[in-house]
Amino acid sequence: MGPRGTGKSYIARMIHESWSDNPDNLVAINCRELGSRNTANRRLDKALRQSANKTLVLKSPHLLHLDVQQRLARQLATRTLADTSPRRYLPRAKYIALFPLPVERLVASKELSPRLASVFASYPVTVPPLRNRRQGILRWAHKILVQESSQRDRIMKGFTPDAERALMAYNWPGNISEMRACIVHALEHSDKRWLTPVDLELFAGIAEQTPGTNAPADNGILSNVINEHRNEPELYSPSVLEQLDLALATAVNELSKQRVSKPLGTWLEDELVMATLGRFQGDNPRTAKFLHTRSRNISRRLEKIQLRAAERDNSALWQQPARLIEVWVAELSLQEQSPVERCWHMLLTHVQSQFTQSSIAQHAAIMGVSAPTLKKRLETIDD
């Protein structure tokens, strides 16, 4: 018994493996899909007749018609098959039912037959939601990561420290099923060896990090599960650009939660100009060359950049990106691609992924450009 996605099927598989070494002998029957009374009775009767040395897992049998529930309960309680002459006993088998709520509540709401409830009442196993067993969150996350990365023939090193904090801070209303979907999505959209909060699209609970080497949190989880692909644990050492990517994603997430709009794209370009001017001690030509633009464009923008300085400096969500931009520019060599374009596209990716229900006008407002300008730049990216 437990909410959807809490791992009831996993426990059923563990019970099956405790008495059988043949995984094919576990038969899951989704009662939601059995159809009409006659169809449900035929399919259940056939499953019972063919259940020798198997484990039958009935998912949500309370969704069956009450007459079907009564017939099933009678067969399980008496250990005899229905409508057989002479009487035939059920084959040796195990029967497990998965319920989303305690059977007492389902009986009280008249969704579950009291007789069918009594069949399974002797051995109840309650599986609490993931939010009530937080000590297991990282264990499940690493287990799922190993399973899913192995299926994709990928060697993953684990979650970054920020990702582990985000996993722990999230409430997981969809339980383990939601966690698996989250990790699968991250694997399918990232080619990294370490999964970050950006990959998981989780941002709550992330603590600010200074550039440097961060080891995964010491939680006792990373030993056998993650390290089976390597002899010694490896430290996660994020680049400044990776930290900036996370900081921009977090800033966008804050806008989404607060339901406000700030011209982050404009602020991003402002910070890049100011950081580059600082690096080259106010030399406009060198700044322009570094940013792949003309010197006069830098001069024209300076006054407006300075006018926006107070707004940028007073924004709590912008402090981390601003600091990381300065660090990144200070150590960056001259690139073939403009640093402005690189960071702008990075920010745009987060806006598009986190504001999926918003219009292009709203996206443009966050990027600090007009809607027609954003459309043109999107066409350039697509080309």
Who's near 78: CB < 8 A, 6+ residues apart?
none
CA angle 291/292/298 to nearest 5° reads 60
Q: What is the pLDDT of residues 136-174, one digit of tens each?
A: 889 889 999 998 998 888 888 889 888 898 899 888 888
Q: What is the pLDDT of residue 68?
A: 94
Q: Do 373 and 245 lie in a common domain?
A: yes
Q: What is the pLDDT of residue 229?
A: 38
CB 331 within 8 A of CB 241: no
In which residue ranges of the chain is pLDDT below 70?
205-237, 381-383
Q: What is the pLDDT of residue 162?
A: 87
Q: Looking at the 3D structure of the chain, how many domains does it have?
A: 3
Identify the domain containing residue 175 by its residue range.
130-229
- In three-state form (DSSP H/G/I as H, E/B as E, the rest C), the secondary structure along 69-100 is HHHHHHHHHHCECCCCCCCCECCCEEEEEECC
Q: Do 21 and 141 lie in a common domain?
A: no
User: Is there a domain that residue 3 lies in?
Assistant: no
Q: Do 321 and 358 lie in a common domain?
A: yes
Q: Do 58 and 180 lie in a common domain?
A: no
User: Is there a domain that residue 297 lies in?
Assistant: yes
The contacts found for 297-300 with CB under 8 angstroms, 24 or more apart, are 298/273
Q: Do 152 and 38 lie in a common domain?
A: no
Q: What is the pLDDT of residues 220-272, one digit of tens each?
A: 444 444 444 344 455 666 788 888 998 899 899 888 888 888 999 999 999 99
CB 197 within 8 A of CB 206: yes
Our CA dihedral for 260, 266, 271, 272, rounded to 10 degrees, sits at 140
pTM beyond 0.95: the answer is no
End position of a domain, from candidates 93, 120, 147: 120
Q: What is the pLDDT of residue 173?
A: 84
User: Is there a domain that residue 185 lies in?
Assistant: yes
Neighbours of 177 (CB within 10 A): 16
Q: What CA–CA distances, in Å, run from 183 to 186, 230, 257, 268?
A: 5, 21, 22, 30
User: Is there a domain that residue 148 lies in?
Assistant: yes
Q: Do 153 and 49 lie in a common domain?
A: no
Three-state DSSP class for residue 59: strand
* CA 217 from centroid of its chain's CA atoms: 19
Q: Do 248 and 364 lie in a common domain?
A: yes
Beta bridge partners of 59: 30, 98
Q: What is the pLDDT of residue 237?
A: 66
Q: What is the pLDDT of residue 210?
A: 39
End position of a domain, from candidates 185, 200, 229: 229
User: Is there a domain that residue 205 lies in?
Assistant: yes
User: Is there a domain that residue 211 lies in?
Assistant: yes
